[in-house]
């Protein structure tokens, strides 16, 4: 979008400006101060432009809230919330880069803002209901925090941004009056520079001097208003102490819950493997040992019977080996290890009773535990669609957004997989053990699950996990 392009262009111009500013500092004071002032003026213009954009986005957001009774409001609200969040993130970035003022995001380690994630944005998965997306936006506490900011910042932040610009315009007007003020006073019957009436050559010259003074004052004020703007941004966007403590407590509780679920899942998996080995492969190996023991006793008395017993032992060993392979495949499918998540999901689609379309736009591979969790989550979603929803068709869409994983390490992003089916709907995480299992599986990696399943369908299951990607290479060859 235009904001991203503006950010890249501004970064380049900023580097050039900082270089000139550094050169000025190497000389004597005035040239360096003038360069810093001009750089700050340019920054003020950028901040003023952002204030205008915030005003427009705030008006759209307010209009969407006022028209929630109609379909238009439901359609506009998620996009407006996403645009407000982007503008706030841009202001955080500029405050840190220009003034060294870090503005923490109280929700950086939480799930994505409704309207920008979990299938609630403008690019929401196929069939997502506009009302469901709008409700998620309205229930998200962040929405109203950003609404307060986008309402107040165009006034306070805009005044700080435009103050040095106003001084520049006023100063230029004074300089102009210094040369043309006497003639304009005769043509217009009088002219003013601020509170100074320009009536003759003396007052015109005084207006010019004051104008030059205002130009110098603008260069002095601009860096200070930029820093004041950054401090204002921190004051209104940064969390207070109570919010930080509440967020920290929520985070601790979330981590404790997800880790407890992870331990429970791991223990259940170990018990399942133990039962499968005891009741399957181990039983067959014990039977094979007994068969070989019987064959050893009959080797001299009845060689013909030994041949039959050896054939039984061979069949038992083959079946035990097959069961062991099935057990290992259930723990970590070979296609997942060898080919990666895209091919593993396509293999699921091929064996699914549903006609399934798969679209993957993931340029690399996540960590093996994340990959495994997503594979089994997709498998569970397809099974639910075939078993409970009465669906005929399904669509699997996977995309990766670099840098979208809030609160993750540098270079991480957000991996989003959406499973949509044309079944009769009615899926509910609170009532479905399969969906709860997916939710717990993803929560171990700070992932989230969103389900949209109105009566009559379609059902849209969206899974998001913050993660980094390794090399796009998918095979070990």
Residue 220, pLDDT score:
92
In this predicted structure, the answer to whether residue 456 has a pLDDT above a threshold of 90 is no
| pTM (predicted TM-score) | 0.52
- Residue 23's pLDDT band (cuts 50, 70, 90): very low
- Residue 74's pLDDT band (cuts 50, 70, 90): confident
In this predicted structure, the answer to whether residue 313 has a pLDDT above a threshold of 80 is no
Which of 41-50, 186-195, 397-406 has the weakest average pLDDT?
Answer: 397-406
- Output 63 or 471, whichever has higher pLDDT: 63
What pLDDT, in 10s, does the model give residues 161-203? 999 999 999 989 888 888 888 788 778 877 888 788 888 888 8
Residue 417, pLDDT score:
93
Residue 162 token pair: 């435009």
**Averaged pLDDT for residues 10-33:** 51
What pLDDT, in 10s, does the model give residues 123-165? 343 334 566 667 777 776 667 778 888 899 999 999 999 999 9
In this predicted structure, the answer to whether residue 227 has a pLDDT above a threshold of 90 is yes
**Averaged pLDDT for residues 35-64:** 89
In this predicted structure, the answer to whether residue 67 has a pLDDT above a threshold of 70 is yes
Beta strand 413-421 pairing with 393-402? antiparallel
Beta strand 459-467 pairing with 448-452? antiparallel
In this predicted structure, the answer to whether residue 297 has a pLDDT above a threshold of 60 is yes
Q: What percent of the chain has pLDDT over 70?
A: 72
**Averaged pLDDT for residues 398-424:** 74
**Averaged pLDDT for residues 316-337:** 70
């Amino acid at each position: 979008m235009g904001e991203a392009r503006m950010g890249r262009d501004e970064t380049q111009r900023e580097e050039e400006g900082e270089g000139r500013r550094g050169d000025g500092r190497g000389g004597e004071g005035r040239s360096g101060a003038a360069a810093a002032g001009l750089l700050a003026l340019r920054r003020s213009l950028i901040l003023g432009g952002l204030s205008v954009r915030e005003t427009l986005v705030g008006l759209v957001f307010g209009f969407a809230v006022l028209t929630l009774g109609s379909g238009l409001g439901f359609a506009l609200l998620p996009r407006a919330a996403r645009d407000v969040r982007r503008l706030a993130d841009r202001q955080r970035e500029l405050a840190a880069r220009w003034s060294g003022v870090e503005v923490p995001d109280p929700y950086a380690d939480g799930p994505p803002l409704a309207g920008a994630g979990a299938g609630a944005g403008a690019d929401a998965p196929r069939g997502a209901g506009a009302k469901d997306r709008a409700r998620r936006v309205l229930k998200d506490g962040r929405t109203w925090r950003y609404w307060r900011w986008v309402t107040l910042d165009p006034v306070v932040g805009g005044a700080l941004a435009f103050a040095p610009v106003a001084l520049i315009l006023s100063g230029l007007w004074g300089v102009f009056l210094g040369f043309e003020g006497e003639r304009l006073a005769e043509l217009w019957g009088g002219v003013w520079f601020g509170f100074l009436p320009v009536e003759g050559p003396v007052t015109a010259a005084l207006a010019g001097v004051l104008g030059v003074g205002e130009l110098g004052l603008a260069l002095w004020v601009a860096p200070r208003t930029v820093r004041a703007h950054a401090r204002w941004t921190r004051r209104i966007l940064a969390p207070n102490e109570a919010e930080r403590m509440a967020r920290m407590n929520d985070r601790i509780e979330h981590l404790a819950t997800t880790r407890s679920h992870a331990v429970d899942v791991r223990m259940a998996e170990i018990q399942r493997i133990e039962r499968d080995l005891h009741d399957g492969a181990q039983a067959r190996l014990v039977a094979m040992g007994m068969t070989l023991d019987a064959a050893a006793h009959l080797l001299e008395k009845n060689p013909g019977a030994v041949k039959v017993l050896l054939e039984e032992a061979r069949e038992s060993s083959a079946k035990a080996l097959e069961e062991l392979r099935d057990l290992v495949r259930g723990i970590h499918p070979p296609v997942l290890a060898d080919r990666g998540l895209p091919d593993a999901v396509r293999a699921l689609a091929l064996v699914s009773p549903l006609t399934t379309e798969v679209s993957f736009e993931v340029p690399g591979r996540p960590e093996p535990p994340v990959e495994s969790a997503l594979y089994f989550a997709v498998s569970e979603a397809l099974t639910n669609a075939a078993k409970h929803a009465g669906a005929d068709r399904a669509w699997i869409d996977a995309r990766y957004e670099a840098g979208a994983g809030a609160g993750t390490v540098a270079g991480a992003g957000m991996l989003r997989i959406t499973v949509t089916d044309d079944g009769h709907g009615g899926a509910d995480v609170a009532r479905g053990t399969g969906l709860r299992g997916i939710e717990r599986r993803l929560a171990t990696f700070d992932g989230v699950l969103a389900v949209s399943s109105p009566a009559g369908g379609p059902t849209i299951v969206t899974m998001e996990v913050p993660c980094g990607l390794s090399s796009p290479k998918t095979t070990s060859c």
